[in-house]
Chain A
């Protein structure tokens, strides 16, 4: 298998991982909000959120900047997709913040819950849009 095929395979696998991570993050947030408020669920959400944020970064280029595979996995179109997905995450977080602000104002929702909703919206929107753009480009 040459570097080109390996890059395609890894890129597709990463897109699927991003979908899965987004779904797990969303589920843990909903679980924490609706049913189970425990230290474990809170810690789990925080751990998954950190992994999600890390997954969106071009860490492969930072770790191995001169590897041809790393360059292929972070070329122009991937950087463009990352920029577009970060913009999608920004708008999702803004929307989530504006939607939850009235509830927080009335004291119904605490600051911790609002920050979690905003972070979850931003990460899920960014990951889903990045994964979708990558898979669409690979067709």
Chain B
């Protein structure tokens, strides 16, 4: 059974009216990282997931969920 990590990063980012670059700047990573996380290409570390949740003012489990 393969599990994938789904996220609502794009929706939450757009809710706050942030661009990928603005969110990347808040978190301290490159825009590429935000782009790959949003597209599900890159699974972020726990540290980055927590930073993203803090930057978007959402609990981390509200941003990410596992889908099998």
Contacts and interface: CB of A to CB of B under 8 A. Distances in A.
Contact of B30 (A72, A80, A139): A72
Interface stretch (A4-12, A40-48, A52-60): A4-12
Interface residues of A, number: 18
A77 B36 CA distance: 8
Interface residues of B, number: 17
Nearest to A5: B21
B63 to A, nearest CB: 16
Contacts of B29: 72, 75-77
Contacts of A137: 32-33, 35-36, 41-42
A73 B42 contact: no
Nearest to B21: A4
A16 interface: no
21 contacts: A4-B24, A7-B30, A8-B32, A68-B28, A71-B28, A72-B28, A72-B29, A72-B30, A73-B30, A75-B28, A75-B29, A75-B30, A76-B42, A76-B44, A77-B32, A77-B33, A80-B42, A137-B32, A137-B36, A138-B32, A139-B35
Closest 3 CB pairs of A and B: A137-B32, A77-B33, A75-B29
